[in-house]
Amino acid sequence: MPGPMTPRIWGVLIALSVVWGTSFFFAAVSLTGFPPFTIVLGRVAIAAAVLAVACHMLGLGLPRGRDAWLACAGMGFLNNALPFSLIIAGQQHIPSGLAAVVNATTPVFAVLCAHALTRDEKLTANRLAGALTGLAGVALLAGPAAFAAGHGSELLGIALCLGASLSYGLSGVWARRVRRAGLAPIPAATGQCACSLLMMLPLVLVFDRPWQLPAPPGAAVAALIAFGLLSTALAYVLFYAIIEKAGATNAMLVTLLVPVTALLLGTAVLGEALAPRHLAGMGVIALGLLLIDGRVFRAR
């Protein structure tokens, strides 16, 4: 059974929030030199290589058999290829900080997908209240101003990032296949990154044609490498460590912290600024996540 949130686990959780929070910054910098599909391919290729080396060094076998690779392929699509592409495409229209705020709705979609597609993870009262509150936060993010003239691009960016959150929510249901296949966390992450690499490669060759692109600036190359090493490979190791020690519910708390890092980096380094409704929406989404988690209100 998962254990309590010890100070050490809290430290790992904060480290993960920083690592994942920087992913939105790295995406914004990578976009200055690479198109979206190429960024996603580079990210998962680097992560797959690093995780494969980690499996070898730790004596862990790679996935084997049809069921294992089918599970990895589903996760590679729903948890990597599709949401990564949608978020980076969305960041062409909205600031990195706002993309992180929208991505914080992932647990809301996770509980809704689990309710609709499973028999044993139905909505409880607090989860329903949290989901409705989170969706209200999304509505506040968009708001009437997003539909006004000149804001259509922002609305498109929010919609793309919401699509990524939905994909992450669906991946939580598909992850049951990973558990049934008996895959250990790091081999599972290696397999899904390898599968998403194979999915992205044809898209890059057909649409991006990297051999025709101009040489990218050094900052974009460095950001892409950090994207794969830190925000993907290292992030998976930290995330699965939290799940193993404290359970998936506690690991979900990271979504409350990721926007903080993204907003700080976006403001300090990229000079981004969010409208008051964006900050208000983040607050409402955070309240929804606290309702879904439930522990704060049980303590009271």
Mean pLDDT, the chain, as a whole number? 89
The pLDDT tens digits for 52-70 are 999 999 999 999 999 999 9
What is the reported pLDDT for 147?
Answer: 62
* Distance, CA of 177 to chain centre: 19
Alpha helices in 76-184 (DSSP H): 82-90, 96-103, 106-117, 125-146, 152-180
- Cα 53-5-113 angle, rounded to 5 deg: 75
Is residue 159 one of the residues assigned to a domain?
A: yes
In the chain, DSSP finds a helix count (H) and a strand count (E) of 15, 0
CA dihedral 296→107→21→178, nearest 10 degrees, is 120
Report if residue 70 sits inside a domain: yes
Answer yes or no: is 155 within a domain. Answer: yes
**Mean of pLDDT values over 168-176:** 88
Confidence of residue 184 (pLDDT cuts 50, 70, 90): confident
CA distance 243 to 175: 13
Q: What is the pTM of this model?
A: 0.91
> Residue 155 is part of which domain span?
7-299
5/266: higher pLDDT: 266
- 2 assigned to some structural domain: no
124 within a domain of the structure (yes/no): yes
Q: Tell me, yes or no, whether 1 lies in a domain.
A: no
Q: Considering only 142-151, 153-162, 237-246, which range has the smallest mean pLDDT?
A: 142-151
Structural domains in the chain (count): 1
> Could you tell me the pLDDT band of residue 170, with boundaries at 50, 70 and 90?
very high
Rg (CA), the chain: 19
Pick the range with the lowest mean pLDDT from 71-75, 243-247, 268-272: 243-247
What is the Cα–Cα distance from 18 to 157, expressed in whole angstroms? 23
Check pLDDT > 90 for residue 114: no
In a domain, 190, yes or no: yes
Task: Indicate if the pLDDT at residue 253 is higher than 60.
Answer: yes
Type of residue numbered 252:
M
Q: What are the respective helix, strand and coil percentages of the chain, to the nearest 5?
A: 80, 0, 20
pLDDT score recorded for residue 56: 93
* Residue appearing with tokens 């989170």: 134
Q: In this structure, how many other beta carbons lie within 10 angstroms of the beta carbon of residue 82? A: 21
C-alpha span between 87 and 160 (Å, rounded): 6
Percent of the chain with pLDDT over 70: 94
